[in-house]
């Protein structure tokens, strides 16, 4: 199965929720799954928006994704702008060049 790389391009918690859920599904099917948080979306790592209808919140969903093997990357500029550290947020730091250089044959989706 081809891998899936998802770029979260906005600071909307629903976009991150959709990206993590889609990545978990791809990982469950045996494919490589990566989520890249671009610029302002990195700020979503700092908090957790309430989830609708008893679904896991973003913090819980990130844990589920990590346990499923989903790789989470954060834009270095976004980390700096949000005052966050990749280590404390448990994400890899990188840029779009790194992401595209390691894309391989993944499908690329932007949310």
Name all domains of the chain by residue range, CATH numbers in brackets. 4-48+56-110 (3.40.1260.10)
Closest Cα to residue 46, out of 34, 55, 58?
58
Mean pLDDT over 11-23 rounds to 95
Q: CB atoms < 10 A from the CB of 42, how many?
A: 27
Residues sharing a CB contact under 8 Å with residue 96, sequence separation 6 or more, in sequence order: 36, 38, 75
pLDDT confidence of residue 27: 98
Average pLDDT, the chain: 94
pLDDT in tens, 35-75: 999 999 999 998 777 788 888 999 999 999 999 999 999 99
pLDDT confidence of residue 73: 96
Q: What percent of the chain has pLDDT over 70?
A: 100
pLDDT confidence of residue 1: 84
Could you tell me the end-to-end alpha-carbon distance of the chain, in angstroms, rounded to an integer?
A: 21
User: DSSP letter at 104?
Assistant: T
d(CA 72, CA 28): 16
- For 29, counting Cβ atoms within 10 Å of its Cβ (0-12 exposed, 13-18 middle, 19+ buried), the class is exposed
């Amino acid at each position: 199965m081809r891998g899936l790389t998802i770029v979260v391009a906005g600071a909307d918690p629903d976009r991150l929720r959709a990206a993590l859920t889609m990545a978990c599904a791809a990982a469950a099917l045996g494919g490589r799954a990566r989520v890249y948080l671009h610029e302002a979306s990195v700020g979503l790592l700092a908090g957790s928006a309430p989830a609708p209808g008893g679904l896991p919140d973003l913090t819980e969903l990130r844990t589920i994704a990590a346990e499923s093997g989903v790789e989470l990357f954060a834009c270095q500029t976004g980390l700096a702008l949000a005052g966050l550290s990749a280590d404390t947020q448990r994400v890899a730091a990188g840029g779009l060049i790194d992401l595209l250089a390691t894309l391989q044959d993944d499908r690329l989706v932007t949310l």
